[in-house]
Amino acid sequence: MKTVGLITEYNPFHNGHLHHLQESLRSTDSDIAVAVMSGHFLQRGEPALIDKWSRAEMALAAGVDVVVELPLPWACSSAPDFARGAVQALNALGGIDTLCFGSEVGDLQVLQQCAEVLLRKEYELSRETSRLLRSGINYPQARQQVMAEWLPDSFDRAALAAPNNILGIEYLKALRQTESSIVPSTIQRIGAGFHDTIVGERNIASATGIRKLLAAGEPVTALIPPAAQKPLLAVLQSGMSFSSDRYLLLLLGQILRAPSELSTTWLVESGIENRLLTVSGQAESLEALIDGIKSRQLTRTRIQRMLVAILLGLKQEEVVALLSTAPHYLHVLAISTSGQEFLASRRKQGQLPLIQNFSRVYSTLKRYYDQDSPAYRRAFQQLDLELRATRIYTLLMRQFQQQERSRDFYMPVLRNEEPLGGK
């Protein structure tokens, strides 16, 4: 029995994700699909459209066998840390034969060529990127420019700017850096691009496009696999989806309440505090807030991650310490019957605690780690961030109930007998 690993966000799960799932299983000749999925806050610094359990339920209904949460802060980090945390999670699960990811180029050899160059010239990349940053361009542009100079003339430089290619290169680096036994594989993305709002072939739109259609009150059911529609529609109809207006109010309150704390917040660079305070006193929308902070050096994504860090009260020292290690436990959100059998077979061979009954998380971590060890402290820091993310995300819903803030503790692992969408 072969198992393929997927690194995902599913915000929300759509036809493109179904294509990726089915092609990953087919192309790797796998029987089990295991997804490492971001929780309530995502890699580009955005709160998820719907909660992590509803997104996991969509994936389960469509045919994913196991969904585990990629913990904060890896889930909200730039591509290198995001990729490394996700690969470390797959390594820790054990039994993952292949990592299959989507990419714009669809050519593993091309992406491996980039990864090899970056691994060989890591120090030079950092030095040259810093030099270009001083000239006034932003980090992604500086990084792409340096990489382009090192690659053969025949290489398509535009590929370096494509978001899934960037992540793919980082997955390949992470596999090498962690000496993983997992074999990489890639399939070419089809349909609309990452940032596109139009609908591409086979009724495949980007997750960004689907969220914009939903915000405009447009129907999206044709873009979502039938088996996965129920969880999404249930959340949307109940009003429990993300509200950017609520996000703005909570964010402004956090910035204006304690400006002295900004300097110790993760990703808040020295000198930006005054601009944050000025813009926060004037912004009437989330877009206006982001636009007011943006500069040549600060990309939109960087700002979005910084705002999430402010909202969640993520401290620079704490996050940097966590990112220097690896996830200390994995929270299982959803499993199929086959997924349960897979996890049972890995229970004694996995490298981390697998938390299925979250009400036992404290006792599990105390039993697993030496209470005088740094790993014990880091595990509970990770736990604190996960609980904090759920509590605060609940406040961002259009409508919410008080008990939702403790949902990590009373929400059971989602299960189904057979994948409704088929494989």
The mean-pLDDT minimum among 35-39, 186-190, 369-373 falls in 186-190
The whole-number pLDDT of residue 150 equals 80
Place of tokens 């290690």: 325
- In the predicted structure, residue 80 carries a pLDDT above the cut 90: yes
Place of tokens 């050899």: 109
- State yes or no: 416 annotated in a binding site: no
The three-point CA angle 309-311-317 to 5° equals 35
- State yes or no: 8 annotated in a binding site: yes
The mean-pLDDT minimum among 38-42, 161-165, 296-300, 317-321 falls in 296-300
Q: In angstroms, rounded to a whole number, what is the distance separating the alpha carbons of residues 154 and 286?
A: 42
The mean-pLDDT minimum among 11-25, 184-198, 274-288, 290-304 falls in 184-198
- State yes or no: 40 annotated in a binding site: no
pLDDT tens digits along 259-311: 989 999 999 988 899 999 999 999 999 999 999 998 878 889 999 999 999 99
- What is residue 265's DSSP assignment? B
Task: Report the run of H or E that residue 102 belongs to, with start and end.
Answer: strand 98-103
- State yes or no: 272 annotated in a binding site: no
pLDDT tens digits along 363-421: 999 999 999 999 999 999 999 999 999 999 999 998 866 656 788 998 999 998 554 44
Asked if residues 240 and 246 have their Cβ atoms less than 8 Å apart, the reply is no
The whole-number pLDDT of residue 417 equals 59
pLDDT over 90 percentage in the chain: 71
* Backbone φ/ψ region at 371: left (φ over 0), alpha (ψ -120 to 50), beta: alpha
Instruction: Pick the more confident residue, 264 or 140.
Output: 264
- State yes or no: 293 annotated in a binding site: no
Instruction: Pick the more confident residue, 233 or 139.
Output: 233
- State yes or no: 16 annotated in a binding site: yes
- State yes or no: 331 annotated in a binding site: no
- State yes or no: 12 annotated in a binding site: yes
Q: What mean pLDDT, rounded, does the chain reach? A: 90
pLDDT tens digits along 336-364: 999 999 999 887 776 899 999 999 999 99
- State yes or no: 190 annotated in a binding site: yes
- State yes or no: 259 annotated in a binding site: no
- State yes or no: 195 annotated in a binding site: no
The whole-number pLDDT of residue 420 equals 44
Name all domains of the chain by residue range, CATH numbers in brackets: 3-237 (3.40.50.620), 244-321 (no CATH)
The whole-number pLDDT of residue 296 equals 78
Provide Rg for the chain, Cα atoms.
Answer: 21
- State yes or no: 189 annotated in a binding site: yes
- State yes or no: 19 annotated in a binding site: yes
- Tokens representing 340 are 């349960």
Let me know how many helices (H) and strands (E) the chain has, helices first: 18, 8
The residue-averaged pLDDT of 63-92 equals 98
Residue 59's SS3 state is helix
Residues forming a β-bridge with 355: 331
The whole-number pLDDT of residue 193 equals 53
- State yes or no: 91 annotated in a binding site: no
